[in-house]
Structure formats: structure tokens, C-alpha cells
Amino acid sequence: MPYFDWNATAPLHPLAREAWLEASETAWANPSTAYRSGVRARSRLDEAREEMAQMLGFRPEQVVFTSGATEANNAVIREIARVSPEKEIWISSVEHPSIREAALGLAGQSRARRIPVDANGQVDLDWFEDQLQISAPGLVSVMAANNETGVIQPWPQIRGLCREAGIPFHCDAVQWIGKYAAPMGQGCAAISLSGHKFGGPKGIGCLILGEEWTGLKVQTGGAQEMGSRAGTENIPSILGMVAALKARLNSPLPAEQLNARDTFEAALEAEWGGEFCIHGKKADRLWNTSFISLPSHRANRWIAQLDRFDMEISSGSACSSSKSGPSSILEVMGVEEEAAARTVRISSGWETSCADWNELLEAIKQVRLVLDSEPASSGP
């Protein structure tokens, strides 16, 4: 069944599964113990940290394993609210709820400032540069790529501006890592990532810390994770995540797979012209994501019907799906409510073939016929 919600989560990569199972049998001991099985588990953990650091272009001491990106994001915001309680926290207005809610909760409406985005959902760099002349926040947090639109943010430029101004910069790189091989490089105070977005197990991630932040405490208690995160390490999941990232970085996708989303969008544009809209179209986007307003009918009706055709797509972030109403990201992009209510997110992954995209295209055309033929009372 073609699965098109890879930005919500990816299936476990076979090599990650193998690594997880193997480690569950051979490295289940507590790595903080002194007997041989504990020492062996410790060395597997150390190796995993080294491998993760090496793949991402960091040093092992910079890598703190967490239960995922939500925990990592929350920890960064909490830390800045602790060390600079009087300062503002600037976040982009399209951040994930794990940044947005943490910033609002800890810094309050008055000190959590939202960096505006343009109509394509990309951070307004001019606004940012101007505001930096006027005031200095305690932290700037801007994601590498948005989970709904797929829009890639100008995070290297923001990181550079923050560095010049001596302001710590955090980047939520959850949707970027595993989709691109280029290392992010040094210069961020902190970077968050999540294993299940690139084929690792769920409930595991990393917080990468810059030099000046290596003392950050994600959780207090025991001295695990170089004193940064208390709690017994989840070695099978850590090894599974490392195996998944390795698999991703070692097998770049062929161009036709990377271009399949564009072919799909072009076909829909040719079919429906002005009735159809691609959000973030003019910005650089992740190669796998299409955030589109489909014609005439509400997103939930498209999604339910497509599910009957065995096509799994979503209306946007799974972390916001319990909230009613269209995506808040479309709101800040200035998209009208009516078009926002017709918006669906389609996101592919390494297993998605060009044939799957074609099948989805045909299913969408079929579903439109079905929806158009339904009584008007059940319309949008």
C-alpha cells in the first residue's frame, strides 16, 4: 500500500531492525555497570556515539542521545529560559509545536517572539537582520526544514548572523537529516534530530551540542550521557538509529526518485491549473514533500477517500492533528482559510517509487470524481 506520510514517520529500515534485535540480545546490560556485560554494552554505546558523530561531522562529546526531538527541543528552550530568564527567545513562526509550545510556556507571549515568514513560508531574513540591530535575544531557534511545507529555511545565514552577534542558535534538523548527506557543520549552539524520521526506531534521537553548550542538562538524575541526560541509555534503539542513518547516507537516491514529486505536481497543475495550489512552491523545498490545496473539497474528505484507494496521506503535522482547524503554518503564510481547509501533505521516502507517485496521481483524479458526485450537502 503506497505510504505517503514519511514526514510523520518512516518505516523501520531493515538494517535498523537487524541492529536493534542484535543489540537487544548482546548489549542489553546497563552500560553504567562494572562487570563484563556492562562494560561490553558501554563499549557498544561509545562506538555508536563515535559513529553518529562521525557521520554528522561532530565530535562524540557533542552527541547526547535523547528519547527523540521533542525532548531535545524542550531541553534547549528550558535551558535558555534558565540561564537568560530576562531575555527574549526568538523562534520562527513555523516551528514545530515542541519548540513553539515550550517557548510560549517558558518565556510567555511577551518574551517568545515569532520571526515572520514570507508567503512561501520562509523566514524573513531582512526582518531578522533589522531586529538584531535593535535587540539581542537569549536564543534563536529556526528549523532546517519545515515538516508540513517542506520549505528549507535559510538556517546557515541565520546561524552566521547569530554567531556575529554572539547569540546562541538552535536548529531543529529533524526533517533535514537523513534526506541530505551534506554535514551541517559547526556553529550551532544545539541541533535536534529524531531517529524515526530516517528509518530508526521511534523514541530515540539526539541533541548535538556546540562547544559552549556541552554542560546542558536535558534531564537530571544519574550521570549518563556525559552528565547531560540522566537515565539508562536505550542501546538497542541507539544502535538502530545509527544503522538507519548509515543506510541512508550510504545509499543516495537516484535522480528519478528525487524528481518524482516535481513530476507529480506538474501533472496536477496541468490537470487542474488554478484550482490547485502548491504551498511554498517558490522556495527551496525538501525533495519529498508536497503541501497542496486540492480542488473543491475539504482535506479530511480527500484523505478518507484516498485511504479507500490504499493511499495514505495526511493533512499536515501529526503533532498538530488533534487541534481543530487548518494548519497554523498556512495561516502565517497568509493562505486563506478556505484554501487551507483543502490542504493535504504528501511526503515520500526512500521506498517510494515513481510508479507509486503515478498511482497516487491517478487515485487523486479518481477521488475527485467520487467527491464531485456526492450530494452537495456533504461538500466543503
Task: Please tell me the distance from the alpha carbon of residue 115 to that of residue 349, in angstroms, as a whole number.
Answer: 30
3-state DSSP assignment of residue 170: strand
Question: Looking at 171, 206, 277, 319, which residue is catalytic?
Answer: 319
Spatial strand order in the sheet of 139-141 = 63-66, 205-209, 190-194, 169-172, 139-141, 89-92, 112-115
- What cell does 93 get? 513562526
Residue nearer to ligand PMP on the CB measure, 102 or 216: 102
φ/ψ region of 361 (left if φ > 0, alpha if ψ in -120 to 50, else beta) reads: alpha
Q: Among candidates 94, 98, 157, which has minimal Cα distance to 291?
A: 94
Closest distance of CB 70 from ligand PMP, Å: 3
In whole angstroms, how close is the CB of 71 to ligand PMP at the nearest point? 7
User: Which residues of this protein are in contact with ligand PMP, per CB under 6 A?
Assistant: 68-70, 73, 96, 98, 143, 147, 172, 174-175, 194, 205, 318-319
Closer to ligand PMP by CB, 41 or 184: give it: 184
Distance between CA 149 and CA 7 in Å, rounded? Answer: 10
- Residue (132 or 344) nearer to ligand PMP, CB: 344
Question: Least separation, in Å, of the C-beta of 262 and ligand PMP?
Answer: 22
Spatial distance between the Cα atoms of 148 and 185, rounded to a whole number of angstroms: 25
Minimum CB–partner distance for residue 111 and ligand PMP (Å): 22
Minimum distance between the CB of residue 230 and ligand PMP, rounded to whole angstroms?
18
Measure the N-to-C terminal CA separation of the chain; round to a whole number of Å.
28
Comparing C-alpha atoms, which of 10, 11, 12 is closest to residue 175?
10
d(CA 9, CA 189): 26
Residue with smaller CB distance to ligand PMP, 191 or 294: 191
Cβ proximity to ligand PMP: between 18 and 101 the closer is 101
Whole-angstrom distance, CA of residue 55 vs CA of residue 195: 14
Is 319 noted as a catalytic residue in this protein?
yes
Which residues form the catalytic set? Answer: 319
